[in-house]
Structure 1
Amino acid sequence: MAASNPPNMIDPSIIEYLKAHGEEEIQVGDKLHQITATLNRHISTCQGLLTRIHSTPSSKLAPLLKQVEETGIKPEIESVGELSEFASNYPYYKYNHRWTRSVQNVVSTILLTAWLGGMGTESRPGELGRLLTIEEVGEIVKVPVNLKDRDAFHISIEEYLLALTDISEELSRLAMNSVTMGDIALTVRVSGFVKDLFAGFQLLNLKNDIVRKRVDAVKYHVKKVEDVIYDLSLRNLIPRQTE
């Protein structure tokens, strides 16, 4: 008669299985931490460069945006590529919480740079006020977007929406700083954009609590810009045709 495990004894193979998978998760987590740490350093560099827009007239933004693209966004794209290659080997929704904030920040730096007139190509030169679609962002970063047919790394709709709320906050700040630089036209341009953006958000059926709360905050960005426009109007600083 074959020997069997004594009563109340755990099968050793169960422990070995748990040990192997536990070690794998630790290794995956360590690698993801390493990649995202590098990515976050590039994001910090990019965001630091973009803060200069608040003291640079729009007519002189081109050299700054070129520097942002070369020194900030290009390294971001390289790190996202490394992240995509590694993360696609594992279940997306098991690990995406480790990088989703970083990806959101990458998207927001790209969206803001493009809105200010950067990220142009030979076929489509940069222009002030241009909002990139999520598909255009995916092409720039060279990763899929909103994947539904396979389990792999991608930029999600939620990350894109959250990035939009980020740039609305940054642009509302820019609207005020543009006044101090005498760039009233840019302030008016920002005002129109954030209003349109908020109106667009109202058409969405948002079920994600985080996205909904962040979108709700956009109305305060709109109000901040409206207050600036109202003050300029009282002072007759906005030309009638622009208004």
Structure 2
Amino acid sequence: MGLSKDELKDIQGATQKSLEASLKRLRQDHVDIFQLHNTLDDANASDSISVQQVINDVLPVFIKLREKGVVRYLGFTAKGKTESLHALVETGEFDSSQVFYNLLTPTAGEEVPSNFPGQDYKQLLNNCERHEMGSIGVRILAGGALSGMETRHPLSMQDVAPIGSGVDYKTDVSRALHFENLVKEGHAADLSELAIRYAVSNSNLSTNEVGIATNEELMQAVKSVNCGPLSPSTLKQIKTVQNNF
């Protein structure tokens, strides 16, 4: 769930309303995971919330819901100020985090040069692992940019803003094409497979979400996952490309 500015005035009421609506739609008496999707400590984001608001005001409400049994696990989307994301992990109260991790945004799992053109998440996945917290890899195709194509499927969102990577979608696609040589060398069938297998290669990621628009894309994603992690030598080549963005 995401809290609007008005809903922050009554966090308990807004949270209860959101959960009840979800349970009604799902026809269930509980949900397995309840996630907060607000951006943390970003003055430029309309849905921004401070990490202290989450810890002091939102988290107690979430914990009560967990104690009641209407939610089993608590999570949050790791979007916003890097230090704030680490602070939420370190509360020890969240069970999972949706983490942005892909070929263009590797910083949640890898060290990068100081001039890397994107947000430095400072190895957030490692911190999740230290706190025995599950992680969900999101945007592993960078919103579609890692297909290497600017044109988008009619069923997909037509305007996709990058998260943690380039200044715009076109820039992300341009950087994605830097990995084409690895495809030509036979490390993967195409850029999408390379991207999916890159995410699968990080053992600190508990699971991954893959955006799809068609059954064909679903089957391609399954095939990519079944190909398994990339080899250490391939990952080394990828890191060289990333360090030269």
TM-score (norm 2): 0.34
Q: Pick the structure with more strand per residue.
A: 2
TM-score (norm 1): 0.34
Q: Pick the structure with more helix per residue.
A: 1
